[in-house]
């Protein structure tokens, strides 16, 4: 089983739609969780950290379910500029971050 | 502003040549990483370092080496380039504090002919 698994997509959604991505992780000792965004031919950048109680940043909401070992990202009112690949990332102790392969989102006008 | 840079941004080389990709960060982060990214594989960790003189192998380290002689730089060397090493290479650094944000360089696109 891969350490971090994501649906690769692509998710093709119209502008204004709500879209959700899920991610599962295998290491129950994982302590920190993140979503990164990667635009085509660019480097990944931190979108948001994921906290146990869930957290929101504008149109983006991240949730963590430790019991089921999954993380989710919800994007409301999708914009064309949200088109990118979203990477689920997990950290355990002092080891390197573990990246999922990413979920590709295309928002269509 | 602090930053992380990579050079060259694009490189074409021939099979069997030694190639070194540079990575330089000005945040004074102890943790630095090298990844390669290929279609269908996502980001794969090549080598990483937690401080000066410290280096560790990642999941795809064969054919690559790194050295860490100062905090700012982690050069990646391909000892004898192979066509299978054609890829996009990202360097990253991490500040291990409460925020734990990892910053990536802009990437180096390497083609081995």
Mapping DSSP onto H, E and C, the string for chain A reads CCCEEECCCCEEEECCCCEEEEEEECCCCCCEEEEEEECCCCCCEEEEEECCCCEEECCEEEEEECCCCEEEEEECCCCHHHCEEEEEEEECCCCCCEECCCEEEEEEC
Our CA-based measurement puts residue B10 at a distance from the nearest CA of chain A, in whole angstroms, of 12
- pLDDT for A1 equals 63
Instruction: Using the predicted structure, report yes or no on whether residue A94 has a pLDDT greater than 90.
Output: no
pLDDT confidence of B57, banded at 50, 70, 90? very high
Query: Count of A–B CB contacts within 8 Å?
Result: 37
What's the confidence (pLDDT) of residue A38? 97
Q: Which one of B48, B90, B99 has the shortest CB-CB distance to A43?
A: B90
pLDDT tens, position by position, B1-32: 779 999 999 999 999 999 999 999 998 999 99
Does A101 contact B at CB distance below 8 Å?
Answer: yes
Residue to test with chain A: of B39, B43, B94, B104, most A Cβ within 10 A? B43
The string of pLDDT tens digits covering residues A13-70 is: 999 999 999 999 999 999 899 999 999 989 999 999 998 888 999 999 999 999 999 9
């Amino acid at each position: 089983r891969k350490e971090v698994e994501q649906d690769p997509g692509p998710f093709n959604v119209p502008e204004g739609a709500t879209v959700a991505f899920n991610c599962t992780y295998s290491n129950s000792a994982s302590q920190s969780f993140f979503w990164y965004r990667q635009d085509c031919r660019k480097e990944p950048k931190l979108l948001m950290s994921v906290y146990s109680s869930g957290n929101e940043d504008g149109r983006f909401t991240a949730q963590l379910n430790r019991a089921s070992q999954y993380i989710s990202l919800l994007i409301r009112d999708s914009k064309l500029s949200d088109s990118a690949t979203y990477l689920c990332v997990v950290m355990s102790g002092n080891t390197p971050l573990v990246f999922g392969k990413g979920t590709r989102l295309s928002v269509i006008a | 502003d602090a930053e992380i840079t990579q050079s060259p941004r694009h490189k074409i080389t021939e099979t069997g040549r030694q190639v070194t990709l540079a990575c330089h960060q000005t945040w004074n982060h102890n943790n630095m990483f090298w990844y390669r990214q290929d279609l269908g594989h996502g980001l794969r960790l090549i080598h990483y370092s937690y401080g000066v003189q410290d280096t560790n192998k990642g999941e795809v380290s064969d054919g690559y080496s790194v050295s860490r002689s100062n905090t700012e730089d982690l050069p990646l060397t391909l000892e004898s380039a192979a066509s299978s090493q054609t890829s996009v290479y990202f360097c990253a650094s991490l500040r291990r504090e409460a925020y734990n944000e990892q910053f990536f360089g802009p990437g180096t696109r390497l083609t081995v002919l």
